[in-house]
Amino acid sequence: MNNYRKIYLSYHPELKGKIPKGYIIHHIDGNRKNNDISNLKMMTKLEHDRLHNCGKKRIFTEEWKNNMSKAHLGKEPHNKGKKTNEETKIKISEANKGKIPWNKGKKGIYSEETLKKISDTLRGNKNAANTTKPDSI
């Protein structure tokens, strides 16, 4: 157990030496080395996540993006060559029910060339087999 938890518990005997499940000890001033009892507060994990904006869309800096690109350079994707099993396909399908597709009602998102490739592929045009695949469908 971390020192700051022990300190917090020593000032709160009603907890009987245990932090309740789902709770954490938070450093109020953000300094994890400041373990003064006045700087420690017990809160739920949800409260803590909200306080620190966990789970919200984060804004990534260009420096961060560049560092991540360098870190993953030359590495294979974690799911390359893996097949999606039927159970996973069903879960994905259920999760997406009721959601509006990203391109619903949007016009002008594909180039003329891409639209022709999609059209030819869907019609089974023999010439379409000799061209590259559409950007995305």
* 114 in any annotated domain: yes
Structure tokens given for 82: 């893996």
Question: How confident is the model at residue 12, as a pLDDT?
Answer: 93
Residues with pLDDT less than 50, the chain:
129
Q: Kindly state whether residue 17 falls inside one of the protein's structural domains.
A: yes
- Model-level pTM? 0.40
Report yes or no on 111 lying in a domain: yes
Radius of gyration of the chain (CA): 26
Tell me if 15 is assigned to some domain.
yes
The pLDDT assigned to 75 comes to: 84
Q: Which domain holds residue 116?
A: 106-137
Would you say residue 9 lies in a domain? yes
Tell me what pLDDT residue 131 has. 52
Q: Based on the structure, what is the number of domains in the chain?
A: 2
Q: What is the pLDDT of residue 56?
A: 61
Residue 120 lies in a domain: yes
Q: Which helix (H) or strand (E) holds 23?
A: strand 23-27
Task: Give CA torsion, residues 69, 72, 74, 80, to 10 deg.
Answer: -120
Asked whether 24 and 42 are in contact (CB, 8 A), the reply is yes
